[in-house]
Structure 1
Amino acid sequence: MHMNSAPHLLAEDRPEYERILDDALRHAHERPDLAAVGERLNAVQLRTMALDATELITSTAATEYKHYVQAREELRGSAEGEDHGAGTGSAAARPHQSGAGIGAVVTVLAPVLAGTAAFIFLLAGYLLRLLDPPPSFASTMVSAGWFFAAVTAAAILAAAVGLLITALRNGSDSQPIDDEEDELPEDVARAREAWRHALLERGILPFLRDALADPEAGPAARTPLPSANRIPKVGYSRPDFSSPGDGPAAGPRPTFTSPDFTSPDFGGPEHELD
């Protein structure tokens, strides 16, 4: 069974390894030493072989990778320290946050309360108008109902605008992963580029060249399988079992006869010992 991930290659760097491998295979026609791609082994077969040999390939750039991981961990540690410091000093921002929370509650409750009041006032006002004679405050209740209806519409419009502004702000704050990688500090970016270069030049390209030069790789194989000559032989072989008639003529088998047991000769008094 092949190992698809090297112990020293972190899971988060596995896609980067595959991306470098795919890029090398994509531009293989630009390299004279890889011009044989597609003759005996195609790009899919080479990619499968390289993924199976991840541990072997990535070990050629172990030094550069270790330096890159250390630089990245130091960057993350400093970023976590800054976040912790910002969290301890955020007490001054809490009133602003509480104010924003109250505003959100008011924005949600205002349409509900205003709509309920509009419904009650309009229903009561129009029912009172049906009386004969109608009370004098019936028109006042109807006017109040229409006022709360207008407040409901305005509150709904304000809530929609607030949600739109929040969505736009959150969209502008989020950045793609590629932009974050481009904004890495110079030392981390250099360490990453050194690892990529070493992985390509000392690991992936030599592996592809050796695979293409291997005479045991046949063009008929759709997927690269281990050659029979490359399977390590165990230091012992299975015993040679053969049927009894296959070997040399066997000698006569020994015959066994059961011992001749006879019952003791018991007689009468004349046979008693003197």
Structure 2
Amino acid sequence: MHMNSLPQHLRSEDRREFERLLDEVLRSAPHRPELAAVGRRLSPAQLRTMAIAASALITVAAAAEYQRYVRIRDELRHPEQASGAAGSAPAEPGPAAAELAAPHGAGAVAVVAVLAPLLSATAAAIFLLIGYILRSLDPRQPIAGTMLTAGWVFGALTVAALLVAAVGLLVTALRNGASPESRARDAATEEVARARAAWETALLERGILPFLKEALADHSHYTGSDHGGPEHQPD
């Protein structure tokens, strides 16, 4: 069997994870007393080839953890399938659905927050422009002062509207960041990480390490020497 081929019961991304764990164990073998014979009885390359060839047996030791990890990961990646499997009866609309069903509240506020600064700024520019033009033509015209006053009032309203709009956007961003959907997804992501860690630990402790120790022990018994040499035959 090719040393990079693994059985199909592991998905491709998980086959790479199996090889990564195996390579890490082999690299750290000098620091593991139970694998101290690596390099003397069998080389790391030989052990890697043997482990990948026997991966079907090795991964069975962590089958329960792997099934749980895959199930939770699939639920996170495809939540619509998980919700569809739970039942076909229509669920009662939750708070998020209620907000979507009544768009006039938040939608109207958003429209006002955008249009108010734009309209007030336009009005301020128009009044100020007309006021300064009239004053330049005839400084004694009272309407010029009225136009200028109105322009500065609308200018102040523009600043106030911009501040209100900024506060509204900030509140909306904070509300969306702390939405139930966002918190649920964060919790699901953490659960996937815990399930993956549990699978990797089980695969390492109950699968990879026992297989490598058994392979080294079998080879020592076969050669009859701790150093892997043949037994001395009497003349």
**TM above 0.5:** yes
**1:33 — aligned with what?**
34
**2:230 — aligned with what?**
none
The CA deviation at 1:168 is 3.4
Residue 9 of structure 1 aligns to a residue in which SS? Answer: coil
Unaligned runs of 5+ in 2: 221-235
Q: Which amino acid aligns with 1:68?
A: R
> Contact 2:51–2:208 at 8 Å: present in 1 too?
no
In structure 1, how many angstroms separate the alpha carbons of the residues matched to 2:54 and 2:148? 78
Once the two structures are overlaid, the 10-residue window that deviates more, 172-181 or 124-133, is: 172-181
Q: Which amino acid aligns with 1:180?
A: A
The CA deviation at 1:55 is 4.4
1:152 to 155, 158, 172: 158
Considering fraction of residues, name the structure with more helix: 2
Q: Which amino acid aligns with 2:137?
A: L
The CA deviation at 1:151 is 1.4
2:212 to 184, 208, 213: 208
Unaligned runs of 5+ in 1: 216-274
In structure 2, how many angstroms separate the alpha carbons of the residues matched to 1:197 and 1:13? 14
TM-score with structure 1 setting the length: 0.53
Residues 147-172 of structure 1: per-residue CA shift (max 9 Å, x gap):
11111111222222233333334444
> Contact 2:62–2:202 at 8 Å: present in 1 too?
no
Is 1:180 the counterpart of 2:188? The answer is yes
**1:120 — aligned with what?**
126
**2:61 — aligned with what?**
61
Identical residues among aligned pairs (%) = 46
Residue 85 of structure 1 aligns to a residue in which SS? Answer: coil
In structure 2, how many angstroms separate the alpha carbons of the residues matched to 1:151 and 1:50? 77
Is 1:132 the counterpart of 2:133? The answer is no
Residues 183-235 of structure 1: per-residue CA shift (max 9 Å, x gap):
58xxx96x984x555422442113433676769xxxxxxxxxxxxxxxxxxxx
> Structure 2 matches for 1:1-274, cutoff 5 A?
1-3=2-4, 6-11=7-12, 13=14, 17=18, 21=22, 24=25, 31-36=32-37, 55-56=55-56, 59-61=59-61, 63-64=63-64, 67-68=67-68, 72=72, 79=83, 81=86, 85=91, 92-94=98-100, 96-132=102-138, 134-173=140-179, 174=182, 179-180=187-188, 193=198, 195-196=199-200, 198-209=202-213
In structure 2, how many angstroms separate the alpha carbons of the residues matched to 1:15 and 1:151? 61
In structure 2, how many angstroms separate the alpha carbons of the residues matched to 1:78 and 1:27? 40
